[in-house]
Structure 1
Amino acid sequence: MANILDVSTDDNLQYQFFPVSSGSVQFKIRAPNDAHIALTMAPQESEPMYEVFIGGWGNTKSVIRRNRTKPEKVEIDTPNILNAGEFRGFWVRWDGGVISAGREGEAIPFISWCDPQPFPVGFVGVCTGWGATGTWKIEDGAEFNTPDKLEYKFGPVAAGSLELEYRGPHNCHICLTSAPAEIDPMYEIILGGWENTQSVIRHCRQKPDKVTLPTPGIMNPNEFRKFVIEWRCGRLMVRDGRSGAPLMEWMDPSPFPVTHFGVRTGYGARGNWRISHFGRGGAQPLLPPPSAPSAAALYSPPPGYPGIAPVSGGAGIWVDATSGQVPPGAVVGGQDCSGEPIYVARARHEGALIPGKLASSHGCAYVPWGGKENGKNEYQVLVGGPNSWMPTSGSNIPPGAFPGGESEDGEPLFIGRVSHEGSLTTGKVQQSHGVCYISFGGQELGFPDYEILVA
């Protein structure tokens, strides 16, 4: 979804630098080992400096390093993550001091670290070494074009928002999907349609449109106009990207996991685009924040860093997160109907601390309470805890059951899961009620037979 820089790097550990204007870079690399990425303030190897080594040590490990000094800030095993015979896609992101890297098409990073003293990144450098040469295809973030043809160009999303700039006479079309194709379910946002007179939100390519708004002159063929689109807990929001003013909003009663976006033009219009695939740090929240305490930095802070609260009664920690973010090491409790992992999460609601579920692509966690599925933008995710589940029923809480929260009356709540309509969904076990409650399809559902998480 952007122009591509083709770069070759020799086996000499010398970085080639280029400027960046957003908080992320996407690339493909073909190399046997040791793809090195540097983040700097200037186009040279000068401190301060972050380095991400992918496939180092003979293509067995990946690390994050600061200022070229050891010990590594983070080190993980990544056997065979690179391949000398094929391109492998990755992204690197820097946001509020959090440095993270992930695979193309995956929202969850495989490595991340929070710098307590971050610096502004202005340049990215790439190099190879230790016996490896590399061929890179790097997205430089420059504008790209769409022809007068109603065919979407698709790209992946990594969070619940998309920032774009469009220059064209009319008919700026954006779609949000669960795959890189025009398939249902699908949201479509048409800005400046009908000869630049109105804008709409459409669901599954069907009329009538969910939202219709008169927007005369919203587009301009001679200048870029900026917009932000956000989806969270079924709530789809379109804002003016410069003022932040809301333009259109619609609540989907049956939201689906958004993994890709597409852009196109038509009806006599050609367009120039600038796309930010990932949200930028420092931006104001696009949707009004809930009353819960503010979340900590994205992904997991290091031990002892603010935002981590010890779990009482067992191993593991609860890590603050927001907007669909998943910390490394999060406990997988099940899977959604689509096959997407469901993580063990909890959130505060109506005076209670309630275990629930997190499916990252939905942009929020869900907790069951009051007969409803309640979406929570700010939540905690269980990291490094147990993943042993014991079948039980009713009010039979086995010894060692893992505590996950408490009701508004102070009753302990445990973490349970049930199979329902093709999903394996986590929720809360309330002993006095004799059931496991889950969030599903907008409702709170209770099941007398369930599995419970034990330490």
Structure 2
Amino acid sequence: MANILDVSTGDNLQYQFFPVSSGSVQFKIRAPNDAHIALTMGPQESDPMCEVYIGGWGNTKSVIRRNRTKPEKAEIETPNILNAGEFRGFWVRWDGGIISAGLEGEAIPFISWADPEPFPIAFVGVCTGWGASGTWKIEDGAEFNTPDKLEYKFGPVASGSLELEYRGPHNCHVCLTPAAAEVDPMYEIILGGWENTQSVIRHCRQKPDKVTVPTPGIMNPNEFKKFLMEWRCGRLMVRDGRTGALLMEWLDPSPFPITHFGVRTGYGAQGNWRIKHFSRGGAQSLPPPPSAPSAAALYSAPPGYPGYPGAAPVSGGAGLWVDATSGQVPPGAVVGGQDCSGEPIYVARAQHEGALIPGKLASSHGCAYVAWGGQEHGKNEYQVLIGGPNNWVPTSGSNIPPGAFPGGQSEDGEPLFVGRVRHEGSLTTGKVQQSHGVCYISFGGQELGFPDYEILIA
């Protein structure tokens, strides 16, 4: 069975993203007009980005657009290509910078364009708009059937979680890796091994296993069994996907960044898989466990605070913000902390929703992150602080010390300062918003607020 997502999109031009593990995606769409497909590096609208509009302009034409700007890169008349009463099948492919779209069953595209500045595409977004709601059946180009062969099939992960369903007699193998290959370091989770009698967690393909638990009869060749895998700063958890019960857990003292998963079967077993990746509006997961102490509510001023007009005087100006992309770290970048893996975290900032937001840069992730609206947002284009101060002062709430270093401003024009907090083995930089009385950091896909923090002083 292929990796299929059923998605509904409203008349709101708001993309729902999911990761892809190959250079193509197939889908069926039932909509009266305006099926929009976005190809991006991350699970959000950010440049660089290519969009394919199918059945736009009242279901009369289709176009390819780059970075949400006109003129169109390609345009063709496609009258009545979509239908509100039936599913129509399409494919979109990208190879060597050539973006193309075609009808199901036809090898020749009806529209294509060669991007002179191609970029790695890891996510696809879908939406409808302009009077259209749509129902989608989306199939990743990669198959997730596994034969009786100890060979992993890989796909990218969108966050610190993965949900899967497996139907097979035994030996459901899942690996978590920093690349789309069997490389060290790696975690392996074997469910229903040893003739469906026990399950283990293995590190770097080495014995003894880190965790071994008896799980007799956990797999069934005639029934899909659901599992949820979560990882956060080296804490690896395997849960029953239906009840949420914790099956196995292990804390890695030397964690590493996980970017891919792999699945396989072996030892006399063939398996069928349904793989769901987490993204807003897509597959739903179990609620994540609390990952932060109680903090001030998002976007509510602390008791007794009169508002940010007339806030503490700001001084500073030392240092320079330098443009960078794709995980680049300019010489002289200010180290503000470190990830739970030990990797340095640099002071960075990026534009988002009309705000200029201080955040964090971990180079191996290939992007910077900022916190906004309760979520973590990856940014391929960002600025890094170089040659600036590195004096951090503890404070709390709305108490902004004199000389606090300004790092940006909110969409309402409120100054945002650079702060940091210790959380789950990391020292993570983020934004201090005085009117909210907290320092916000992006962590594990979320925006987390902390009333006690350190602030950068110029």
TM-score by length of 1: 0.47
Specify whether residues 249 and 97 from structure 1 end up closer, same or farther in structure 2 by C-alpha distance, changes over 3 A only.
Answer: farther
Contact 2:3 2:273 in 1 (8 A): no
C-alpha distance in structure 2 between counterparts of 1:260 and 1:151, whole Å = 15
Deviation of the 1:203 alpha carbon: 0.6
Specify whether residues 107 and 422 from structure 1 end up closer, same or farther in structure 2 by C-alpha distance, changes over 3 A only.
Answer: farther
SS in 2 for 1:146: coil
Count of aligned pairs:
454
After TM superposition, the structure 1 stretch with the greater mean CA deviation from structure 2, 246-255 or 286-295, is 286-295
Deviations 1:139-183 (A, max 9, x none): 259973101000000000110000100000000000000000000
Specify whether residues 241 and 343 from structure 1 end up closer, same or farther in structure 2 by C-alpha distance, changes over 3 A only.
Answer: farther
After TM superposition, the structure 1 stretch with the greater mean CA deviation from structure 2, 256-265 or 102-111, is 102-111
Aligned residue number for residue 214 of structure 2: 214
C-alpha distance in structure 1 between counterparts of 2:102 and 2:333, whole Å = 15
Specify whether residues 330 and 91 from structure 1 end up closer, same or farther in structure 2 by C-alpha distance, changes over 3 A only.
Answer: farther
Deviation of the 1:2 alpha carbon: 3.5
Q: 410, 416, 432: which is aligned to 1:407?
A: 410
Specify whether residues 200 and 9 from structure 1 end up closer, same or farther in structure 2 by C-alpha distance, changes over 3 A only.
Answer: closer
Deviation of the 1:279 alpha carbon: 4.8
SS in 1 for 2:242: coil
Deviation of the 1:78 alpha carbon: 25
After TM superposition, the structure 1 stretch with the greater mean CA deviation from structure 2, 134-143 or 427-436, is 427-436
C-alpha distance in structure 2 between counterparts of 1:301 and 1:327, whole Å = 36
Contact 1:299 1:321 in 2 (8 A): no
C-alpha distance in structure 2 between counterparts of 1:101 and 1:385, whole Å = 48
Aligned residue number for residue 55 of structure 1: 55
After TM superposition, the structure 1 stretch with the greater mean CA deviation from structure 2, 52-61 or 153-162, is 52-61
Contact 1:254 1:441 in 2 (8 A): no
Deviations 1:17-54 (A, max 9, x none): 99999999888999999993399999999999999869
C-alpha distance in structure 2 between counterparts of 1:168 and 1:174, whole Å = 14
Contact 2:300 2:436 in 1 (8 A): no
Specify whether residues 375 and 294 from structure 1 end up closer, same or farther in structure 2 by C-alpha distance, changes over 3 A only.
Answer: farther
Deviation of the 1:402 alpha carbon: 1.4
Deviation of the 1:367 alpha carbon: 15
SS in 2 for 1:57: helix
C-alpha distance in structure 2 between counterparts of 1:371 and 1:35, whole Å = 28
Structure 1 residue 358 corresponds to structure 2 residue 361? yes
Contact 1:295 1:322 in 2 (8 A): no
Contact 1:171 1:266 in 2 (8 A): yes
Contact 2:368 2:380 in 1 (8 A): yes
SS in 1 for 2:6: strand
After TM superposition, the structure 1 stretch with the greater mean CA deviation from structure 2, 40-49 or 245-254, is 40-49
C-alpha distance in structure 1 between counterparts of 2:20 and 2:425, whole Å = 43
Structure 1 residue 96 corresponds to structure 2 residue 126? no
C-alpha distance in structure 2 between counterparts of 1:400 and 1:109, whole Å = 59
Contact 1:298 1:321 in 2 (8 A): no
Contact 1:40 1:49 in 2 (8 A): yes
Contact 1:298 1:325 in 2 (8 A): no
Specify whether residues 425 and 269 from structure 1 end up closer, same or farther in structure 2 by C-alpha distance, changes over 3 A only.
Answer: same
Aligned residue number for residue 321 of structure 2: 318
Specify whether residues 343 and 70 from structure 1 end up closer, same or farther in structure 2 by C-alpha distance, changes over 3 A only.
Answer: same
Specify whether residues 178 and 131 from structure 1 end up closer, same or farther in structure 2 by C-alpha distance, changes over 3 A only.
Answer: same
Deviation of the 1:260 alpha carbon: 0.3
SS in 1 for 2:141: coil
Structure 1 residue 266 corresponds to structure 2 residue 269? no
Deviations 1:338-397 (A, max 9, x none): 999946499999999999956498999999999999999999999999999999999999
C-alpha distance in structure 2 between counterparts of 1:373 and 1:11, whole Å = 25
C-alpha distance in structure 2 between counterparts of 1:446 and 1:214, whole Å = 40
C-alpha distance in structure 2 between counterparts of 1:321 and 1:386, whole Å = 19
Specify whether residues 368 and 14 from structure 1 end up closer, same or farther in structure 2 by C-alpha distance, changes over 3 A only.
Answer: closer
Alignment of 1:180-191 (within 5 A): 180-191=180-191
Contact 1:143 1:275 in 2 (8 A): no
Contact 2:35 2:53 in 1 (8 A): yes
C-alpha distance in structure 2 between counterparts of 1:33 and 1:359, whole Å = 41
SS in 2 for 1:194: helix
Structure 2 stretches lacking a partner, 5+ long: none
C-alpha distance in structure 2 between counterparts of 1:111 and 1:260, whole Å = 31
Contact 2:314 2:404 in 1 (8 A): no
SS in 2 for 1:231: strand
Contact 1:107 1:159 in 2 (8 A): no
Specify whether residues 248 and 425 from structure 1 end up closer, same or farther in structure 2 by C-alpha distance, changes over 3 A only.
Answer: closer
After TM superposition, the structure 1 stretch with the greater mean CA deviation from structure 2, 12-21 or 193-202, is 12-21
Specify whether residues 433 and 105 from structure 1 end up closer, same or farther in structure 2 by C-alpha distance, changes over 3 A only.
Answer: farther
Deviation of the 1:288 alpha carbon: 6.4
Identity across the alignment (%): 90
Deviation of the 1:254 alpha carbon: 1.1
C-alpha distance in structure 2 between counterparts of 1:90 and 1:325, whole Å = 37
Contact 1:310 1:317 in 2 (8 A): no
C-alpha distance in structure 1 between counterparts of 2:241 and 2:219, whole Å = 13
Contact 2:4 2:138 in 1 (8 A): yes
C-alpha distance in structure 1 between counterparts of 2:182 and 2:109, whole Å = 27
C-alpha distance in structure 2 between counterparts of 1:9 and 1:370, whole Å = 21
Contact 1:98 1:298 in 2 (8 A): no
TM-score by length of 2: 0.46
SS in 2 for 1:195: helix
Contact 1:396 1:431 in 2 (8 A): yes
Contact 1:4 1:138 in 2 (8 A): yes
Contact 1:10 1:127 in 2 (8 A): yes
Structure 1: 4+ residue segments shifted above 2 A: 1-144, 277-307, 309-401, 403-455
- Root-mean-square deviation (Å): 15.0
Contact 2:20 2:156 in 1 (8 A): no
Specify whether residues 330 and 63 from structure 1 end up closer, same or farther in structure 2 by C-alpha distance, changes over 3 A only.
Answer: farther
Aligned residue number for residue 285 of structure 1: 285
